[in-house]
Amino acid sequence: MDTFDGELEQSQAETRAAFENRALMYSAIWDELSDELGEEKAAELMKRAIHRRGLEVGRKYRAAVADQDLEAVGEIFVGGSPADGALFTPGIEESGDEVIVLRMESCPLVDAWVAEGRRPDEIDRLCEIAAAVDEGTFEAAGLDLVFLERIGAGSCRCLLELRVPEER
């Protein structure tokens, strides 16, 4: 293995560890907030905060959405995936003029929750909370998002359907 490959491998491992740490922080915050405030209020607060971060992330899609170029949205999504796509294994499931379906075939957050020993219902709830970043991202970009499938809900992949709204 040459130096570049070793550095890339190390970078990917460090990025994976950072995402796993993010997942474990979400679960620790979840535990504390839900014990103190109840599950519904805890979920509401966490989603609101995570969604706000997504609103900032969504800026990178705005020009493509303004041009109604969903193919470019897909390219930004796939091309901007951390660790050159090694963590989420992103792709485009379907693309058309009015809709694009983005795919992720793996999730280091879910992997961390599984390794932590979380029950499937807890993983689903944490995944739903974490997905608020995607909801904020694509809201800020000017797109409507529907999760068709989520790894955290037991699917083998995540499918994100994005549409340009008819009118706002």
**Amino acid 2: pLDDT:** 72
**Per-residue pLDDT tens over the stretch 102-137:** 999 999 999 999 999 999 999 999 999 999 999 999
**Amino acid 147: pLDDT:** 98
Contact 34, 27 (CB under 8 A): no
Whether 168 maps to a domain, the answer reads no
Check pLDDT > 80 for residue 4. no
**Amino acid 1: pLDDT:** 58
Whether 77 maps to a domain, the answer reads yes
**Amino acid 84: pLDDT:** 87
Residue 33 lies in domain? 3-163
Per-residue pLDDT band at 166 (split at 50, 70, 90): confident
**Per-residue pLDDT tens over the stretch 27-41:** 999 999 999 999 999
CA nearest neighbour of 161 among 84, 83, 94, 97: 94
CB under 8 Å to 100, separation ≥6 — which residues? 70, 71, 73, 74, 92, 94, 161, 162
The domain total for the chain is 1
Confidence (pTM): 0.92
Residue 64 sits in a domain whose CATH number is: 3.30.1380.20
**Per-residue pLDDT tens over the stretch 38-95:** 999 999 999 999 999 999 999 999 999 999 999 999 999 999 999 889 999 999 999 9
